[in-house]
Amino acid sequence: MSHASRIRAAVAGLLGALLLAPSALGQDAFPGNDEIRRRLDERLARGGGVGVVVGLLEADGTRRFVAAGSSGNGVPLDEHALFEIGSVTKPFTATLLADMVARGEVSLDDAVAKYLPAGTRVPERNGRAITLATLATHTAGLPRNPTNLRPADPKDPFGDYGLDRLYEFLATCELPRDPGESWSYSNVGFGLLGHALERRAGTTYAKLLAGRVLAPLGMTETSVGLDPALQRKAVQGYDEAFAPAPMWDLGPLPAAGAIRSTASDMLSFAAANLSAESDRLHAAMRAAHAPRVPMKDDQRVGLAWMVAKPKTRTITWHWGGTGGFRSYLGLDLEGRRAVVILTNASQMWNEFGHNLLDPEVPLGPASADGLFAKLLREKGLDAALARVRELKAKEPAAWSFEEAHFNAAGYRLLSEKRPADAVKVFTLGTELFPEIGNPWDSLGEALLAAGEKDKAIAAYRRSVELDPKNRNGLEALEKLTKAP
Protein backbone atom coordinates (compact mmCIF):
# COMPACT_ATOMS: atom_id res chain seq x y z
CA MET A 1 0.00 0.00 0.00
CA SER A 2 1.34 3.44 -0.95
CA HIS A 3 1.92 6.19 1.58
CA ALA A 4 -1.09 8.12 0.17
CA SER A 5 -3.25 5.02 0.41
CA ARG A 6 -2.23 4.50 4.03
CA ILE A 7 -3.17 8.11 4.82
CA ARG A 8 -6.56 7.68 3.14
CA ALA A 9 -7.15 4.46 5.08
CA ALA A 10 -6.19 6.13 8.34
CA VAL A 11 -8.55 9.05 7.66
CA ALA A 12 -11.35 6.63 6.79
CA GLY A 13 -10.74 4.73 10.01
CA LEU A 14 -10.82 7.94 12.02
CA LEU A 15 -14.09 8.97 10.38
CA GLY A 16 -15.49 5.53 11.15
CA ALA A 17 -14.52 5.96 14.80
CA LEU A 18 -16.21 9.35 14.86
CA LEU A 19 -19.41 7.90 13.41
CA LEU A 20 -19.56 4.56 15.18
CA ALA A 21 -17.91 5.01 18.56
CA PRO A 22 -18.86 8.33 20.15
CA SER A 23 -18.40 6.97 23.66
CA ALA A 24 -14.76 6.27 22.96
CA LEU A 25 -14.23 9.98 22.28
CA GLY A 26 -15.86 11.05 25.52
CA GLN A 27 -19.20 12.20 24.13
CA ASP A 28 -20.99 10.01 26.67
CA ALA A 29 -18.88 11.14 29.61
CA PHE A 30 -20.63 12.55 32.65
CA PRO A 31 -20.09 16.20 33.60
CA GLY A 32 -17.24 16.94 35.98
CA ASN A 33 -17.72 16.89 39.73
CA ASP A 34 -17.68 20.69 40.06
CA GLU A 35 -20.41 21.08 37.47
CA ILE A 36 -22.56 18.39 39.06
CA ARG A 37 -22.11 19.95 42.50
CA ARG A 38 -23.15 23.32 41.09
CA ARG A 39 -26.34 21.75 39.71
CA LEU A 40 -27.02 20.01 43.01
CA ASP A 41 -26.55 23.20 45.03
CA GLU A 42 -28.84 25.09 42.68
CA ARG A 43 -31.56 22.45 42.85
CA LEU A 44 -31.42 22.23 46.65
CA ALA A 45 -31.59 26.02 46.97
CA ARG A 46 -34.76 25.98 44.87
CA GLY A 47 -36.53 23.61 47.26
CA GLY A 48 -35.32 20.34 45.74
CA GLY A 49 -34.45 18.68 49.02
CA VAL A 50 -32.15 18.74 52.05
CA GLY A 51 -29.16 16.62 51.09
CA VAL A 52 -28.21 14.44 48.13
CA VAL A 53 -25.48 12.01 47.12
CA VAL A 54 -24.94 11.19 43.44
CA GLY A 55 -22.93 8.17 42.33
CA LEU A 56 -21.61 7.86 38.78
CA LEU A 57 -20.28 4.71 37.15
CA GLU A 58 -18.30 5.42 33.98
CA ALA A 59 -18.02 3.02 31.05
CA ASP A 60 -14.44 2.16 32.06
CA GLY A 61 -15.54 1.22 35.58
CA THR A 62 -14.46 4.48 37.22
CA ARG A 63 -16.68 5.48 40.14
CA ARG A 64 -17.30 9.04 41.28
CA PHE A 65 -19.44 10.48 44.05
CA VAL A 66 -20.71 14.02 44.50
CA ALA A 67 -22.64 15.21 47.57
CA ALA A 68 -24.39 18.46 48.45
CA GLY A 69 -26.57 19.75 51.24
CA SER A 70 -26.95 18.28 54.70
CA SER A 71 -27.52 14.90 56.30
CA GLY A 72 -29.68 16.65 58.88
CA ASN A 73 -28.11 14.88 61.85
CA GLY A 74 -24.34 15.33 61.61
CA VAL A 75 -23.65 12.07 59.77
CA PRO A 76 -21.05 12.72 57.04
CA LEU A 77 -22.91 13.12 53.75
CA ASP A 78 -20.82 10.94 51.47
CA GLU A 79 -20.95 7.65 49.59
CA HIS A 80 -21.13 5.72 52.87
CA ALA A 81 -24.14 7.58 54.30
CA LEU A 82 -27.18 5.30 54.74
CA PHE A 83 -30.51 6.10 53.05
CA GLU A 84 -33.79 4.31 52.56
CA ILE A 85 -34.07 3.41 48.88
CA GLY A 86 -37.80 2.60 48.89
CA SER A 87 -39.00 0.94 45.71
CA VAL A 88 -35.50 0.59 44.26
CA THR A 89 -35.75 -2.52 46.45
CA LYS A 90 -37.93 -4.03 43.72
CA PRO A 91 -35.07 -4.69 41.24
CA PHE A 92 -33.35 -6.62 44.05
CA THR A 93 -36.49 -8.69 44.50
CA ALA A 94 -36.64 -9.23 40.74
CA THR A 95 -33.03 -10.44 40.80
CA LEU A 96 -33.96 -12.95 43.51
CA LEU A 97 -36.89 -14.15 41.43
CA ALA A 98 -34.80 -14.60 38.28
CA ASP A 99 -32.12 -16.39 40.30
CA MET A 100 -34.67 -18.78 41.82
CA VAL A 101 -36.03 -19.47 38.34
CA ALA A 102 -32.51 -20.29 37.15
CA ARG A 103 -32.06 -22.63 40.13
CA GLY A 104 -35.28 -24.44 39.20
CA GLU A 105 -36.90 -23.50 42.51
CA VAL A 106 -39.81 -21.58 40.96
CA SER A 107 -41.25 -20.80 37.54
CA LEU A 108 -42.45 -17.40 36.39
CA ASP A 109 -45.74 -19.02 35.41
CA ASP A 110 -46.34 -20.49 38.87
CA ALA A 111 -49.47 -19.26 40.58
CA VAL A 112 -48.48 -17.33 43.70
CA ALA A 113 -51.03 -19.37 45.65
CA LYS A 114 -48.71 -22.37 45.25
CA TYR A 115 -46.31 -20.80 47.75
CA LEU A 116 -48.84 -19.57 50.31
CA PRO A 117 -50.37 -21.54 53.17
CA ALA A 118 -52.96 -24.09 52.12
CA GLY A 119 -56.41 -22.56 51.98
CA THR A 120 -55.17 -18.98 51.48
CA ARG A 121 -57.58 -17.22 49.17
CA VAL A 122 -55.86 -15.39 46.30
CA PRO A 123 -58.08 -13.41 43.93
CA GLU A 124 -58.55 -14.61 40.36
CA ARG A 125 -60.54 -13.24 37.43
CA ASN A 126 -62.10 -15.08 34.53
CA GLY A 127 -60.20 -18.19 35.49
CA ARG A 128 -56.80 -16.46 35.32
CA ALA A 129 -54.56 -16.74 38.37
CA ILE A 130 -52.03 -14.26 39.72
CA THR A 131 -48.59 -15.63 38.87
CA LEU A 132 -45.08 -14.71 39.92
CA ALA A 133 -44.60 -13.10 36.50
CA THR A 134 -47.69 -10.89 36.77
CA LEU A 135 -46.59 -9.76 40.23
CA ALA A 136 -43.07 -8.96 38.97
CA THR A 137 -44.39 -6.95 36.01
CA HIS A 138 -47.17 -5.12 37.89
CA THR A 139 -49.84 -6.80 35.76
CA ALA A 140 -51.55 -8.87 38.46
CA GLY A 141 -54.42 -6.39 38.78
CA LEU A 142 -53.73 -5.66 42.45
CA PRO A 143 -54.03 -2.09 43.80
CA ARG A 144 -51.04 0.10 44.57
CA ASN A 145 -51.36 -0.53 48.31
CA PRO A 146 -53.53 -2.94 50.32
CA THR A 147 -57.04 -1.62 50.72
CA ASN A 148 -57.06 -2.48 54.44
CA LEU A 149 -54.05 -0.27 55.17
CA ARG A 150 -55.22 1.87 58.11
CA PRO A 151 -52.04 3.02 59.87
CA ALA A 152 -52.05 4.05 63.49
CA ASP A 153 -49.13 6.33 62.62
CA PRO A 154 -49.34 7.90 59.13
CA LYS A 155 -45.62 8.67 59.32
CA ASP A 156 -44.91 4.91 59.42
CA PRO A 157 -47.83 3.58 57.37
CA PHE A 158 -46.89 -0.11 57.39
CA GLY A 159 -45.56 -0.19 60.94
CA ASP A 160 -48.62 -1.96 62.35
CA TYR A 161 -49.49 -3.94 59.21
CA GLY A 162 -49.01 -7.62 59.95
CA LEU A 163 -49.07 -10.78 57.87
CA ASP A 164 -52.61 -11.50 59.04
CA ARG A 165 -53.71 -8.21 57.48
CA LEU A 166 -52.06 -9.16 54.19
CA TYR A 167 -54.00 -12.43 54.08
CA GLU A 168 -57.15 -10.55 55.08
CA PHE A 169 -56.60 -8.23 52.13
CA LEU A 170 -56.19 -11.16 49.73
CA ALA A 171 -59.34 -12.79 51.07
CA THR A 172 -61.49 -9.78 50.22
CA CYS A 173 -59.74 -8.35 47.14
CA GLU A 174 -61.62 -8.37 43.83
CA LEU A 175 -59.55 -7.77 40.71
CA PRO A 176 -60.71 -4.98 38.34
CA ARG A 177 -58.98 -6.64 35.37
CA ASP A 178 -57.62 -10.04 34.40
CA PRO A 179 -54.10 -10.89 35.61
CA GLY A 180 -51.66 -10.19 32.80
CA GLU A 181 -54.04 -7.83 31.00
CA SER A 182 -52.37 -4.48 31.68
CA TRP A 183 -49.79 -2.67 33.80
CA SER A 184 -50.72 -0.96 37.07
CA TYR A 185 -48.06 -0.30 39.70
CA SER A 186 -48.51 -2.30 42.89
CA ASN A 187 -46.48 -2.17 46.09
CA VAL A 188 -48.61 -4.86 47.70
CA GLY A 189 -48.08 -7.05 44.65
CA PHE A 190 -44.30 -6.90 44.99
CA GLY A 191 -44.56 -7.42 48.72
CA LEU A 192 -46.63 -10.53 48.05
CA LEU A 193 -44.03 -11.74 45.53
CA GLY A 194 -41.26 -11.44 48.09
CA HIS A 195 -43.37 -13.25 50.67
CA ALA A 196 -43.91 -16.14 48.24
CA LEU A 197 -40.17 -16.33 47.52
CA GLU A 198 -39.21 -16.37 51.18
CA ARG A 199 -41.74 -19.13 51.88
CA ARG A 200 -40.36 -21.18 48.98
CA ALA A 201 -36.80 -20.72 50.26
CA GLY A 202 -37.75 -21.45 53.86
CA THR A 203 -36.17 -18.30 55.27
CA THR A 204 -36.86 -14.59 55.63
CA TYR A 205 -36.64 -12.16 52.74
CA ALA A 206 -33.78 -10.37 54.52
CA LYS A 207 -31.71 -13.55 54.89
CA LEU A 208 -32.54 -14.71 51.38
CA LEU A 209 -31.41 -11.42 49.85
CA ALA A 210 -28.30 -11.26 52.01
CA GLY A 211 -27.20 -14.76 51.12
CA ARG A 212 -27.94 -14.73 47.41
CA VAL A 213 -27.34 -11.12 46.34
CA LEU A 214 -25.77 -8.82 48.94
CA ALA A 215 -22.97 -11.10 50.14
CA PRO A 216 -21.91 -12.31 46.66
CA LEU A 217 -21.70 -8.68 45.51
CA GLY A 218 -19.82 -7.51 48.60
CA MET A 219 -22.61 -5.10 49.58
CA THR A 220 -21.70 -4.75 53.25
CA GLU A 221 -23.44 -1.39 53.68
CA THR A 222 -26.90 -2.63 52.75
CA SER A 223 -29.65 -4.14 54.88
CA VAL A 224 -33.33 -4.96 54.74
CA GLY A 225 -34.92 -2.78 57.40
CA LEU A 226 -33.07 -1.92 60.59
CA ASP A 227 -29.49 -3.08 61.10
CA PRO A 228 -28.14 -1.47 64.29
CA ALA A 229 -24.55 -1.75 63.08
CA LEU A 230 -25.35 0.25 59.93
CA GLN A 231 -27.91 2.61 61.43
CA ARG A 232 -25.25 4.84 62.97
CA LYS A 233 -24.51 6.02 59.42
CA ALA A 234 -28.16 6.76 58.62
CA VAL A 235 -29.07 10.30 57.60
CA GLN A 236 -32.22 12.06 58.78
CA GLY A 237 -35.16 11.96 56.38
CA TYR A 238 -37.53 14.88 55.75
CA ASP A 239 -41.12 14.86 54.52
CA GLU A 240 -42.81 17.12 51.96
CA ALA A 241 -43.06 19.87 54.59
CA PHE A 242 -39.32 19.58 55.34
CA ALA A 243 -40.17 18.18 58.77
CA PRO A 244 -38.14 15.25 60.14
CA ALA A 245 -39.57 11.91 59.01
CA PRO A 246 -38.77 8.45 60.42
CA MET A 247 -37.59 5.50 58.39
CA TRP A 248 -40.32 2.99 57.62
CA ASP A 249 -41.01 -0.53 58.84
CA LEU A 250 -42.53 -2.40 55.87
CA GLY A 251 -43.86 -5.25 58.02
CA PRO A 252 -44.66 -8.31 55.85
CA LEU A 253 -43.87 -6.41 52.61
CA PRO A 254 -40.09 -5.78 52.75
CA ALA A 255 -39.64 -6.91 49.13
CA ALA A 256 -41.57 -3.82 48.03
CA GLY A 257 -39.29 -1.20 49.58
CA ALA A 258 -37.45 -1.99 52.84
CA ILE A 259 -33.81 -1.82 51.74
CA ARG A 260 -31.45 0.74 53.27
CA SER A 261 -28.20 1.33 51.45
CA THR A 262 -25.41 3.72 50.51
CA ALA A 263 -24.38 5.25 47.21
CA SER A 264 -21.20 3.14 47.30
CA ASP A 265 -23.11 -0.13 47.63
CA MET A 266 -25.72 0.94 45.09
CA LEU A 267 -23.01 1.52 42.51
CA SER A 268 -21.77 -1.99 43.26
CA PHE A 269 -25.24 -3.27 42.46
CA ALA A 270 -25.30 -1.15 39.31
CA ALA A 271 -21.89 -2.44 38.23
CA ALA A 272 -23.07 -6.02 38.68
CA ASN A 273 -26.11 -5.29 36.53
CA LEU A 274 -23.82 -3.98 33.78
CA SER A 275 -21.34 -6.84 34.03
CA ALA A 276 -20.93 -9.35 31.22
CA GLU A 277 -20.00 -12.12 33.68
CA SER A 278 -21.72 -15.41 32.89
CA ASP A 279 -22.42 -16.83 36.34
CA ARG A 280 -25.98 -17.47 37.46
CA LEU A 281 -26.43 -14.28 39.50
CA HIS A 282 -25.28 -11.94 36.74
CA ALA A 283 -27.34 -13.86 34.20
CA ALA A 284 -30.37 -13.46 36.48
CA MET A 285 -29.83 -9.71 36.55
CA ARG A 286 -29.77 -9.56 32.77
CA ALA A 287 -32.94 -11.65 32.61
CA ALA A 288 -34.69 -9.15 34.86
CA HIS A 289 -33.78 -6.26 32.53
CA ALA A 290 -35.55 -7.69 29.47
CA PRO A 291 -38.70 -5.67 28.60
CA ARG A 292 -41.81 -7.82 28.84
CA VAL A 293 -44.97 -5.74 28.83
CA PRO A 294 -45.94 -2.15 27.97
CA MET A 295 -46.53 0.36 30.73
CA LYS A 296 -47.23 4.09 30.59
CA ASP A 297 -45.44 6.91 28.72
CA ASP A 298 -44.13 4.61 25.96
CA GLN A 299 -42.12 2.65 28.50
CA ARG A 300 -41.94 -1.09 28.99
CA VAL A 301 -41.36 -3.09 32.13
CA GLY A 302 -39.21 -6.13 32.73
CA LEU A 303 -39.06 -7.89 36.07
CA ALA A 304 -39.43 -4.70 38.15
CA TRP A 305 -37.11 -2.65 35.90
CA MET A 306 -38.67 0.09 33.79
CA VAL A 307 -37.21 0.56 30.31
CA ALA A 308 -37.55 3.98 28.68
CA LYS A 309 -36.10 5.92 25.79
CA PRO A 310 -36.97 9.51 26.70
CA LYS A 311 -34.62 10.90 24.03
CA THR A 312 -31.57 9.21 22.45
CA ARG A 313 -30.48 6.66 25.08
CA THR A 314 -32.38 3.64 26.36
CA ILE A 315 -32.47 3.84 30.16
CA THR A 316 -33.25 0.85 32.38
CA TRP A 317 -34.25 2.32 35.69
CA HIS A 318 -36.28 2.46 38.87
CA TRP A 319 -37.02 5.06 41.49
CA GLY A 320 -38.11 4.83 45.09
CA GLY A 321 -39.65 6.87 47.85
CA THR A 322 -40.61 6.56 51.51
CA GLY A 323 -41.82 9.20 53.93
CA GLY A 324 -38.55 11.10 54.03
CA PHE A 325 -36.40 9.71 51.21
CA ARG A 326 -36.21 9.48 47.41
CA SER A 327 -33.90 7.37 45.29
CA TYR A 328 -33.04 6.80 41.64
CA LEU A 329 -31.06 4.07 39.89
CA GLY A 330 -30.55 4.34 36.15
CA LEU A 331 -28.58 2.04 33.85
CA ASP A 332 -27.35 2.70 30.34
CA LEU A 333 -26.88 -0.95 29.36
CA GLU A 334 -25.44 -0.12 25.95
CA GLY A 335 -22.99 2.48 27.22
CA ARG A 336 -22.25 0.50 30.42
CA ARG A 337 -22.82 3.54 32.61
CA ALA A 338 -24.98 4.07 35.66
CA VAL A 339 -26.30 6.81 37.93
CA VAL A 340 -27.54 6.48 41.50
CA ILE A 341 -29.15 9.34 43.40
CA LEU A 342 -30.00 9.14 47.11
CA THR A 343 -31.69 12.05 48.85
CA ASN A 344 -33.09 12.54 52.34
CA ALA A 345 -36.25 14.44 51.39
CA SER A 346 -39.44 13.78 49.44
CA GLN A 347 -38.66 15.73 46.25
CA MET A 348 -38.22 13.72 43.03
CA TRP A 349 -34.89 13.48 41.17
CA ASN A 350 -35.81 11.18 38.28
CA GLU A 351 -35.37 13.75 35.52
CA PHE A 352 -32.02 14.76 37.00
CA GLY A 353 -30.82 11.16 36.79
CA HIS A 354 -32.14 10.69 33.26
CA ASN A 355 -30.41 13.91 32.20
CA LEU A 356 -27.04 12.70 33.49
CA LEU A 357 -27.38 9.52 31.43
CA ASP A 358 -28.79 11.36 28.40
CA PRO A 359 -28.16 15.14 28.32
CA GLU A 360 -30.89 15.53 25.70
CA VAL A 361 -33.50 14.73 28.37
CA PRO A 362 -34.72 18.16 29.47
CA LEU A 363 -34.86 19.14 33.10
CA GLY A 364 -38.35 20.27 33.96
CA PRO A 365 -39.18 23.46 35.84
CA ALA A 366 -38.37 23.68 39.52
CA SER A 367 -41.09 22.81 42.01
CA ALA A 368 -42.65 25.93 43.51
CA ASP A 369 -44.37 23.93 46.22
CA GLY A 370 -41.00 22.48 47.27
CA LEU A 371 -39.54 25.95 47.63
CA PHE A 372 -42.69 27.07 49.44
CA ALA A 373 -42.34 24.25 51.99
CA LYS A 374 -38.64 25.03 52.47
CA LEU A 375 -39.26 28.75 52.99
CA LEU A 376 -42.24 28.09 55.25
CA ARG A 377 -40.02 26.09 57.58
CA GLU A 378 -36.97 28.37 57.37
CA LYS A 379 -38.41 31.89 57.04
CA GLY A 380 -42.07 31.68 57.95
CA LEU A 381 -45.40 31.69 56.17
CA ASP A 382 -45.52 35.30 55.02
CA ALA A 383 -42.09 35.07 53.37
CA ALA A 384 -43.06 31.81 51.65
CA LEU A 385 -46.33 33.28 50.35
CA ALA A 386 -44.62 36.40 49.07
CA ARG A 387 -41.93 34.43 47.25
CA VAL A 388 -44.41 32.16 45.47
CA ARG A 389 -46.48 35.14 44.35
CA GLU A 390 -43.29 36.75 43.04
CA LEU A 391 -42.34 33.61 41.11
CA LYS A 392 -45.80 33.30 39.58
CA ALA A 393 -45.68 36.94 38.46
CA LYS A 394 -42.09 37.08 37.19
CA GLU A 395 -40.92 33.52 36.36
CA PRO A 396 -44.01 31.38 35.70
CA ALA A 397 -42.33 29.25 33.03
CA ALA A 398 -39.36 28.38 35.26
CA TRP A 399 -41.48 26.86 38.01
CA SER A 400 -44.18 24.21 38.29
CA PHE A 401 -47.22 24.96 40.42
CA GLU A 402 -49.14 21.85 41.55
CA GLU A 403 -52.58 22.52 42.94
CA ALA A 404 -52.68 19.32 45.00
CA HIS A 405 -49.38 20.09 46.71
CA PHE A 406 -50.38 23.60 47.77
CA ASN A 407 -53.72 22.23 48.92
CA ALA A 408 -51.93 19.64 51.05
CA ALA A 409 -49.83 22.40 52.63
CA GLY A 410 -53.02 24.19 53.67
CA TYR A 411 -54.48 21.05 55.19
CA ARG A 412 -51.30 20.43 57.16
CA LEU A 413 -51.82 23.83 58.77
CA LEU A 414 -55.46 22.98 59.48
CA SER A 415 -54.37 19.75 61.15
CA GLU A 416 -51.99 21.80 63.30
CA LYS A 417 -54.95 23.93 64.48
CA ARG A 418 -53.77 26.97 62.51
CA PRO A 419 -56.92 27.90 60.57
CA ALA A 420 -55.92 31.55 59.97
CA ASP A 421 -52.65 30.42 58.37
CA ALA A 422 -54.51 27.76 56.38
CA VAL A 423 -56.77 30.50 55.02
CA LYS A 424 -53.68 32.32 53.74
CA VAL A 425 -52.40 29.21 51.94
CA PHE A 426 -55.77 28.33 50.42
CA THR A 427 -56.18 31.95 49.34
CA LEU A 428 -52.87 31.59 47.51
CA GLY A 429 -54.29 28.45 45.92
CA THR A 430 -57.28 30.35 44.56
CA GLU A 431 -54.88 32.94 43.09
CA LEU A 432 -52.70 30.29 41.45
CA PHE A 433 -55.61 28.20 40.21
CA PRO A 434 -58.59 30.59 39.99
CA GLU A 435 -60.60 28.38 37.62
CA ILE A 436 -60.32 25.16 39.65
CA GLY A 437 -63.05 24.48 42.18
CA ASN A 438 -61.04 22.50 44.74
CA PRO A 439 -58.93 25.39 46.15
CA TRP A 440 -62.11 27.39 46.70
CA ASP A 441 -63.73 24.45 48.47
CA SER A 442 -60.68 24.11 50.73
CA LEU A 443 -60.69 27.83 51.39
CA GLY A 444 -64.32 27.56 52.47
CA GLU A 445 -63.41 24.83 54.95
CA ALA A 446 -60.56 26.89 56.43
CA LEU A 447 -62.67 30.05 56.64
CA LEU A 448 -65.36 28.12 58.48
CA ALA A 449 -62.74 26.77 60.90
CA ALA A 450 -61.54 30.36 61.41
CA GLY A 451 -65.08 31.47 62.29
CA GLU A 452 -65.72 33.46 59.09
CA LYS A 453 -69.03 31.96 58.01
CA ASP A 454 -70.06 34.53 55.41
CA LYS A 455 -66.71 34.34 53.63
CA ALA A 456 -66.87 30.56 53.81
CA ILE A 457 -70.25 30.59 52.06
CA ALA A 458 -68.86 32.81 49.31
CA ALA A 459 -65.89 30.47 48.80
CA TYR A 460 -68.11 27.40 48.68
CA ARG A 461 -70.40 29.11 46.16
CA ARG A 462 -67.45 29.86 43.92
CA SER A 463 -66.29 26.24 44.21
CA VAL A 464 -69.61 24.84 42.99
CA GLU A 465 -69.82 27.43 40.22
CA LEU A 466 -66.54 26.07 38.91
CA ASP A 467 -67.39 22.44 39.69
CA PRO A 468 -71.16 21.82 39.83
CA LYS A 469 -70.51 18.19 40.83
CA ASN A 470 -68.59 19.22 43.94
CA ARG A 471 -70.65 17.26 46.44
CA ASN A 472 -68.73 18.52 49.47
CA GLY A 473 -69.34 22.15 48.48
CA LEU A 474 -73.03 21.54 47.79
CA GLU A 475 -73.52 19.83 51.15
CA ALA A 476 -71.62 22.58 52.98
CA LEU A 477 -73.77 25.27 51.34
CA GLU A 478 -76.96 23.45 52.19
CA LYS A 479 -75.91 23.21 55.81
CA LEU A 480 -74.59 26.77 56.09
CA THR A 481 -77.52 28.47 54.36
CA LYS A 482 -80.27 26.40 55.93
CA ALA A 483 -82.72 28.57 57.82
CA PRO A 484 -82.54 28.08 61.60
pLDDT of residue 160: 96
Long-range contact pairs involving 178-182 (C-beta distance under 8 Å, separation at least 24): 178/125, 178/126, 178/128, 178/141, 179/124, 179/125, 179/128, 179/129, 179/130, 179/131, 179/134, 179/139, 179/140, 179/141, 180/128, 180/131, 180/133, 180/134, 180/139, 180/140, 181/139, 181/141, 182/139
Q: With contact defined as beta carbons under 8 Å apart, do 191 and 252 qualify? A: yes
Mean pLDDT (10-residue bins), the chain, 484 residues:
41 37 54 97 96 98 98 98 98 98 98 97 98 98 98 95 98 98 98 98 98 98 96 97 96 98 98 97 98 93 97 97 98 98 97 97 94 96 97 96 95 96 98 97 97 96 96 94 78
> What are the pLDDT digits (tens) for 276-319?
999 999 999 999 999 999 998 889 999 999 999 999 999 999 99
pLDDT of residue 297: 85
Q: How far is CA 257 from the centre of its chain?
A: 10
Residues in the chain: 484
Please report, as a single letter, which amino acid is at residue 245. A
Please name the fold of domain 33-357: Beta-lactamase (3.40.710)
pLDDT of residue 483: 65
> What are the pLDDT digits (tens) for 108-162?
999 999 999 999 999 999 999 999 999 999 999 999 999 999 999 999 999 999 9
pLDDT of residue 16: 37
pLDDT of residue 174: 98
CATH 3.40.50.620 for domain 366-481: no
Distance CA 265, CA 460 (A): 53
CA atoms within 13 A on the CB side of 19: 6
Residue spans per domain, the chain:
33-357, 366-481
Phi-psi region of 246 (alpha: psi -120 to 50; beta: other; left: phi over 0): beta
pLDDT of residue 35: 97
pLDDT of residue 421: 97
Closest CA to 268 of 305, 341, 219: 219
pLDDT of residue 296: 87
Strand order in the sheet with 63-69: 63-69, 51-57, 337-343, 325-332, 315-322, 306-308, 300-301, 293-294
Distance CA 201, CA 206 (A): 12
